[in-house]
Amino acid sequence: MSDFFKNRRVVVTGGAGFLGGYVCDGLRRRGCRQVLVPTIEEYDLVRMTDVERMYDTLRPDVVIHLAAVVGGIGANRKHPGKFFYDNLMMGVQLIEQARHRDVQKFVTIGTVCAYPKFTPVPFREDDLWNGYPEETNAPYGLAKKMLLVQSQAYRTEYGFNGIFLLPVNLYGPGDNFDPEASHVIPALIKKCVDAVDRGDAFIDCWGTGSPSREFIYVADAAEGILLATEHYNGADPVNIGSGFEITIRDLAEKIAALTGFTGELRWDPSQPDGQPRRCLDVSRARKAFGFEAKTDFDEGLRATIDWYQENKHRLFGEVH
């Protein structure tokens, strides 16, 4: 570990969220004495006046921009306009004000949704512009991808040190289990655990189960982001992933087995599958700043299931 963070003021937008909590913990373990988290109650980062006030008050040396309006396929289909506007405006304004205030480094967290729908597997960063993203999450993915364009343009014109990271789907303890907004792993864990509690004979699963996805344990993703913040100063985007791929059907069967659900998995092909495959080439992160994911997938799933089991009553009350 370096002393990079020791005497720097680090603002983590979204620091109160799922990934943000792990990034803030990692910063403190690295000796960062000033981890600053602008909460949504204090600062609406979609509004320029709040962005300016946040910079005036917190005076960061480094910004790690995690804040995002996110969700699964259902949420993306329901709110494409909000997902586009809020994510674009937050990032554009934060980067613009960081430039004006000579922030030493700006770390933008992008999304795997920025990749074209039919990207060759594994996804290489050089393929990022070779097509249009999968339609259900294109507004979100493109809003994030514009922040890469902005970072590179500002580097060229102003010498702005902005880096852009592309994490794959996250999972882990503390994930969002709200059925309206959750991603596939917490959604399936909640369905299976709740079905066991109720004694249900089946659960419904979206799509055909044939698409594949890559997942990274949230603590590993946080470590990758912090290593990049410390050691990477390049213009090129960098994938943050595990290099591991699993079909949604195999994932559902694995979660059912780990939760003790022995009923039927009913697939609903009238619901969208999303992108056919997702798996990242993670060689650039390994070469550029020595990052490799460490957590075994089954081990990470068990930890996530255990967390939900321990917190479900606090989150949702009694399951009926």
Catalytic residue ranges: 140
Distance CA(64)–CA(232), nearest Å, equals 13
CB 264 within 8 A of CB 202: yes
CB 136 within 8 A of CB 77: yes
**How long is the chain?**
320
Distance CA(243)–CA(280), nearest Å, equals 6
Token readout for 188 is 């399936």
Residue with structure tokens 């074209």?
116
CB 123 within 8 A of CB 278: yes
Residue 318, judged by CB atoms within 10 A of its CB (0-12, 13-18, 19+), counts as exposed
Task: Tell me the residue type at 25.
Answer: D
